[in-house]
A and B are shown apart, each in its own frame.
Chain A
Amino acid sequence: MTPLLQVEGIEKRYGARIGCAAVSFDLYPGEVMGIVGESGSGKSTLLNCLAGHLAPDAGKVVFDTRAEGPVDTVTMSEPERRMLSRTDWAFVHQHARDGLRMSVSAGANIGERLMAVGDRHYGSIRSRAIDWLDRVEIDESRVDDRPTSFSGGMQQRLQIARNLVTGPRLVFMDEPTGGLDVSVQARLLDLLRGLVREMGLSAIIVTHDLAVVRLLADRLMVMKDGRVVEAGLTDQVLDDPQHAYTQLLVSSVLQV
């Protein structure tokens, strides 16, 4: 089977400081990869390089496109990359307001990607928006309300709906449950797990929270100082960490 994403030697520097370096891995269709590590370890930098938001200084991010098969997205043209971002890729930001349009209704937020790829039937856009509100457990009576009137958890669920409505093949998530209350986090996690299973989504999820990876990720990469120090099946890495840093990470969680 061809990997959906092949990452080879990704490196990003901020001046002399390393953002991330020498990151390589393959992601297969339907797989969820978790990326954990302490603050400043380079998780967001890596994710943004993979999603095309940052230009890496070295390395390849080869995506298995529908039309042409595997293509390096780092060197593809900007229009092609932006097209991927609107169709086959999705990006869920930690702060919902970075990923939502706060000045338009929930329905328009969900409909935007449909309209961006040429859907021109109001009735069908609206019914798909309502369907997605339902799927992320937001009452459909809120379809014409702006996200500013939503709670943090609802905003995050709306952001997920907005991203998944076009049936993307790869979802990038940066701390999707960060900043939410613990009970709200749990509900969001359940929802995400359901959607991942139901849609067979491939995803790369950055998080501080080992509970999130335990629940969602098939595989795990542990980062420290911009580099991957340990990688493997989630259960193996968490239950039998090899690297001293991972051992520390796992034990510090258990102590909480």
Chain B
Amino acid sequence: MNEYNFAYLDEQTKRMIRRAILKGLAVPGYQVPFASREMPMPYGWGTGGVQVSAAILTPEDRFKVIDQGADDTTNAVSIRKFFEKTAGIATTEKTARASVIQTRHRIPEARLREDQIIVYQVPIPEPLRFLEPRETETRKMHSLEEYGMMHVKLYEDISQHGAISTAYAYPVKVSGRYVMDPSPIPKFDNPKLEMDAIQLFGAGREQRIYAVPPHTRIVSLDFEDYTFEATKAEHSCDLCGAGDSYLDEVIMDDAGNRMFVCSDTDYCRSRRSAGHVGRLGEESAA
């Protein structure tokens, strides 16, 4: 059908990546080094996620790709096309129909199931990096569970802003052991990290894979008197009326009129086709 091996990577490389994934699943939240391959796309375009997806996809899979919650952004479209071409697999924009979902910056609103896998594109896997630049030292801090520094960062947030201002890539403790960067998802998504699906994280440039098995306990770091809050804009979606979804703010015209819409395009579309209507829903549908 095409000149590539199935899903582009050769079988030996895929086996190497699968071993890293299995190790990651066996030690939840632990960053497993792997020999990242050159991919026909630049770093920053999700080469880590793409390699993980390539290693787990089978011909029967149905693949969905989102970037900031949307299926139709350049990055999402090009990764979807890449696997359509190199693996000949079916793709979908519907969260519920996908068996593998690759994502950048969001977790879908619809609850994922046990028969699904979500693959995150990760730019910087090491949550301790900004506190301690030396890799040898961060590895030691993980192995000895020396995580006091994470709270130093949160302390600084509160002393400077009166609240924990970290809004993305909010650090979590996985299964009471490893501190993990959940990739730059909004902290609104953190509670969803306790899910039924398998979660795999791939960092291409940094050559790390980590994983969270289904039903793993995930705790967002906080203080007793400044507890974690999964915040979002205090609005409902102007198109579908959802009050429980993460919203993007969109400037509509030169007059500065704004609207709030679901960042998860599939969630918004399914709600609208089920008859839900937001403040501006009917006008924009017209």
Contact = CB atoms under 8 A, between A and B. Distances in A.
Contact of B155 (A82, A111, A117): A111
Is chain A's binding surface mostly helix, strand, loop or mixed?
helix
B160 interface: yes
Is chain B's binding surface mostly helix, strand, loop or mixed?
helix
Given A121-B225, A122-B226, A78 B144 contact: yes
Residues of B in contact with A, size category: 10 to 19
B27 interface: no
Nearest to B164: A122
A185 interface: no
Contact of B144 (A82, A111, A125): A82
Given A108-B155, A108-B159, A144-B160, A116 B146 contact: yes
Interface string B195-216: 0000000000000000000000
A224 interface: no
B155 A107 contact: yes
B158 interface: yes
Contacts of A111: 152, 155
Contacts of B59: none
B225 A123 contact: yes
A122 B149 contact: no
A121 to B, nearest CB: 5
Interface residues of A, number: 23
B63 to A, nearest CB: 41
Interface string A90-128: 000000000001001101100111011100111101100
A104 B151 contact: no
Nearest to A121: B224
Interface string A52-72: 000000000000000000000
A108 B151 CA distance: 9
Contacts of A82: 144, 146
Interface in B206-254: 222-226
B208 to A, nearest CB: 23
B136 to A, nearest CB: 13
A107 B146 CA distance: 20
A144 B225 contact: no
Given A108-B156, A122-B223, A125-B155, A117 B146 contact: no
Interface in B148-173: 148-149, 151-152, 155-156, 158-160
A15 interface: no
A133 to B, nearest CB: 13
A115 B144 contact: no
Nearest to B226: A122
A104 B224 contact: no
B160 A120 contact: no
22 contacts: A79-B144, A82-B146, A86-B146, A86-B148, A101-B152, A104-B156, A105-B159, A107-B159, A108-B152, A108-B155, A113-B148, A115-B152, A116-B146, A116-B149, A120-B151, A120-B222, A121-B224, A121-B225, A122-B155, A122-B225, A126-B159, A143-B159
Interface of B: 144, 146, 148-149, 151-152, 155-156, 158-160, 222-226
